[in-house]
Chains A and B, each alone.
Chain A
Amino acid sequence: KNEVEQSPQNLTAQEEEFITINCSYSVGISALHWLQQHPGGGIVSLFMLSSGKKKHGRLIATINIQEKHSSLHITASHPRDSAVYICAVSGSNYQLIWGAGTKLIIKP
């Protein structure tokens, strides 16, 4: 079993739909990161979380430390949100463990 599991692996939705991507982990962590990688390959760090919730524009990230689970939400999705979303966790020794990514396609 992978230490960081993301679901779903692939997600196709219509524009304006509310999107949720989930991340579960099995190790103790000091922080969890959500990153976005566009088809061109560039990686953008979206959030770094250690507790609670963060919001940036239409993106919301939550984390539940007790349940070892995080979610990334996109409200009013748009085709330009199409990308691979990656969850990564860092432990006390800063070994970064990456999820496999969720490929999101938003259709107009």
Chain B
Amino acid sequence: DAGVIQSPRHEVTEMGQEVTLRCKPISGHDYLFWYRQTMMRGLELLIYFNNNVPIDDSGMPEDRFSAKMPNASFSTLKIQPSEPRDSAVYFCASSLFREETQYFGPGTRLLVL
């Protein structure tokens, strides 16, 4: 398997624009996680899915953030409208079971100007 795939790897956008981050988990993994990493706050869990269903979205910072998982092989994290403070590295990870080892994607570096 190719591992967790994220796209784009880098995104530079202007404040107010919509940003969509994409993730393809490892085939067969039932859990998918979205994380954000900043220098100030470290790694934060934003939301996680089990069998395509959002289980805990308490980490989503505000209504500008939304995540979907329309099928077992694809998830999106959308920010609309984006703000400079959203600049961070966004990681997607997947695991077979909730408490099993998580496999991380390469991350998307987002810069909002």
Contacts and interface: CB of A to CB of B under 8 A. Distances in A.
B40 to A, nearest CB: 11
A52 interface: no
A41 B109 contact: yes
Interface residues of B, number: 21
A43 B107 contact: yes
Interface stretch (A10-18, A62-70, A73-81, A92-100): A92-100
Given A86-B43, A94-B56, A98-B42, A43 B91 contact: yes
The secondary structure that dominates the A interface is strand
Nearest to A98: B43
A106 interface: no
Contact of A50 (B43, B99, B107): B99
Interface string B38-63: 00001111001000000110100000
Interface of A: 30-31, 33, 35, 41-45, 47-48, 50, 86, 88, 90, 93-96, 98, 100-101
Interface of B: 42-45, 48, 55-56, 58, 89, 91, 93, 98-104, 106-107, 109
6 contacts: A43-B107, A45-B101, A88-B43, A96-B45, A98-B43, A98-B44
